[in-house]
Amino acid sequence: MTEQAESGWETVIGLEIHVQLNTRSKIFSGASTQFGAEPNSQACAIDLGMPGVLPVVNAAVFPKAVAFGLGVGAEIGMTSVFDRKNYFYPDLPKGYQITQMDYPIVRGGKVDVLLPSGITKTVRLTRAHLEEDAGKSLHEEFQGATGIDLNRAGTPLLEIVSEPEMSSAVEAVAYARTIHQLVTYLDVSDGDMSQGSFRCDANVSVRRIGTPDLGTRTETKNVNSFRFLERAIDFEVARQIQILEGGGRIIQETRLYDPDKDETRPMRSKETATDYRYFPEPDLLPVVINEKFVADVRATMPELPAARRQRFESQFKLSNDDATFLSSSLPLAKYFEQAGQTAEDFRLAANWVRVELLGMLNKQGLDIGESLISATQLGELLRRIKDGTISGKIGKSIFDALWAGDATSVDEYIESHGLRQVSDSDTLTPIIEKIINDNTQQAEQYRSGKTKLLGFFVGQVMKETGGKANPQQVNDLVKTALDQAPP
């Protein structure tokens, strides 16, 4: 805000996010949507736009779109209609894209976006509609020709359109992250940005503060990482301000972000292409859903990220930071809750999941779903730390053993390796006495005021007991023994 006030310019951003739905087959054909197949091996006659073929709608796209709509509190289009958007490009062999124009499946809605500053901003959605993806053009493969891979053609997309309500790249990224979290929570999409499952188009314009009308906007297309989205918007805002301050005009155009050069540049002029000549798709009938359908979808929806974050704070007394982090993905949230429940201590579980488990996962480049320690195993381990059976230090060694597959049951491992914490003063006292007798010089120094040496004695006892002694208890016992008059 202050930055804007200083420059005298205000930024207006709206995002169109294309989310690939995680179905097995395409939206209008029975071809596979599997990523990474041989070029065109998953492009059937319908995807190729062969004469005489007809689209048949995949039922799986509707519950997913409706779940998203419910997740953002939108009106669900009980009757949704497909339309043709006409344009010529080789990656769209039919000459039109089947999409939804006037009667989309999701109408309106809003999301609460938690900004890095800690402030929550509500961003309204215009709509979200179902459509098919186009194929891929490869310009570098052949001299003077373009290669076309139509495997992606017909892949189901949900295009989520926001109102132009974001005023900085940081806000736009926070909004995109919120949508990403929501669609992965709801199992609408795998959200894999490296495979193009989540792509952002940013509509950006600037205007002098206090100007009522929006400035001319540009659209930067197909940004497939949050980092690039932030950089692309920042570049575009700076470019537009520079042009306007130099007395120039912004041209309404489509631009492409080049991460190597960190700049946006014009892609194609929309001047003749703006006329998409939409009309209702004559090959498809309206799709009608009823209240029961919507209720069934609602019943299968998990608790959403924002609600879960609040519950983690209030029910488990987690810090805002821990709650935000642990609710960030559904698998992580489930893992944490299971571990906490087994341990009967959620704050202990929060700490171990964040520090030990994620430290290990990051080191090995693994995902939470690939953890070699189950949530129940971690919970059992933490329960033994909590009830004093083992020390935290021994706990870490058992954690490593579980990870390496050397242990399966925590309790069995503790018993078989004799790791039970020694809190029995009858066992500890003789050890402590022996150590004091062996180190009379240090004991003298301690008694004459060098109390820092307490740590030395505690360390010796811990060493003698193989780390199994209860450190707090050793501390107390050593102190008492040393404070007594020398024998």
Which of 36, 52, 144, 365 is the binder for other proteins (CB under 8 A)? 144
Report the candidate in 83, 27, 105 with the shortest Cα–Cα distance to residue 294.
Answer: 105
Number of residues near other proteins (by CB under 8 A): 56
C-alpha distances out from residue 413 to 159, 331, 377, Å: 52, 27, 12
Q: Which is nearer to other proteins, 88 or 485 (CB)?
A: 88
Paired residues of 114 in beta bridges:
120
Residue 34 region by backbone torsions, left for phi larger than 0, else alpha for psi between -120 and 50, else beta: beta
Which of 5, 41, 298, 415 is the binder for other proteins (CB under 8 A)? 41
Check binding of 251 to other proteins (CB under 8 A): no
Angle, nearest 10°, between helix axes 169-185 and 305-316?
90
CA–CA distance, 288 with 82 (Å, rounded to integer): 12
Check binding of 59 to other proteins (CB under 8 A): yes
Which of 1, 6, 54, 142 is the binder for other proteins (CB under 8 A)? 142
Which of 10, 131, 132, 149 is the binder for other proteins (CB under 8 A)? 149
Report the candidate in 370, 399, 413, 394 with the shortest Cα–Cα distance to residue 467.
Answer: 394
**Shortest approach of other proteins to residue 411 CB, angstroms?**
44
Per-residue string for binding with other proteins, 316-355, x by CB under 8 A? ----------------------------------------
Q: Which is nearer to other proteins, 292 or 452 (CB)?
A: 292
Which residue type is seen at 216?
T
CA–CA distance, 99 with 47 (Å, rounded to integer): 14
Check binding of 39 to other proteins (CB under 8 A): yes
What's the token pair of residue 384?
A: 């033994």
Site for other proteins, residues 425 to 464, rule: CB under 8 A: none
Q: Which stretch binds other proteins (CB under 8 A): 144-152, 211-219, 334-342, 354-362?
A: 144-152
Q: How many other C-beta atoms are found inside a 10 Å radius of the C-beta of residue 4?
A: 15
CA–CA distance, 410 with 382 (Å, rounded to integer): 10
CA atoms within 13 A on the CB side of 407: 25
Q: Which stretch binds other proteins (CB under 8 A): 140-148, 355-363, 385-393, 411-419?
A: 140-148
Q: Which is nearer to other proteins, 275 or 387 (CB)?
A: 275
Q: How many other C-beta atoms are found inside a 10 Å radius of the C-beta of residue 281?
A: 20
Paired residues of 263 in beta bridges:
258
Which of 287, 326, 333, 432 is the binder for other proteins (CB under 8 A)? 287
Report the candidate in 353, 356, 359, 317 with the shortest Cα–Cα distance to residue 333.
Answer: 353
Spatial contact of 106 and 130, defined as CB atoms under 8 Å apart: no
Q: Which is nearer to other proteins, 192 or 253 (CB)?
A: 253
**Shortest approach of other proteins to residue 241 CB, angstroms?**
26
Q: Which is nearer to other proteins, 285 or 366 (CB)?
A: 285
Q: Which is nearer to other proteins, 48 or 243 (CB)?
A: 48
C-alpha distances out from residue 41 to 33, 57, 95, 152, 397, Å: 11, 21, 21, 10, 50
CA–CA distance, 129 with 110 (Å, rounded to integer): 15
Check binding of 32 to other proteins (CB under 8 A): yes
What's the token pair of residue 187?
A: 């199992």
Site for other proteins, residues 61 to 100, rule: CB under 8 A: 62, 79, 81, 86, 88-90
Q: Which is nearer to other proteins, 32 or 351 (CB)?
A: 32
Check binding of 264 to other proteins (CB under 8 A): no
Report the candidate in 59, 179, 57, 158 with the shortest Cα–Cα distance to residue 104.
Answer: 158
Residue 101's SS3 state is coil
Angle, nearest 10°, between helix axes 440-447 and 471-483?
80
Check binding of 38 to other proteins (CB under 8 A): yes
CA–CA distance, 480 with 100 (Å, rounded to integer): 79
Check binding of 42 to other proteins (CB under 8 A): yes
Q: Which is nearer to other proteins, 194 or 272 (CB)?
A: 272
Q: Which is nearer to other proteins, 45 or 295 (CB)?
A: 45
Check binding of 58 to other proteins (CB under 8 A): yes
Q: Which is nearer to other proteins, 48 or 214 (CB)?
A: 48
Q: Which stretch binds other proteins (CB under 8 A): 38-46, 126-134, 223-231, 446-454?
A: 38-46
Check binding of 5 to other proteins (CB under 8 A): no
CA–CA distance, 85 with 98 (Å, rounded to integer): 6
CA–CA distance, 363 with 457 (Å, rounded to integer): 35
**Shortest approach of other proteins to residue 239 CB, angstroms?**
19
**Shortest approach of other proteins to residue 295 CB, angstroms?**
18
Per CB under 8 A, residues contacting other proteins are 23-25, 29-32, 38-46, 48, 56-60, 62, 79, 81, 86, 88-90, 102-103, 137-139, 141-142, 144-150, 256, 267-268, 272, 275, 277, 280, 282, 284-288
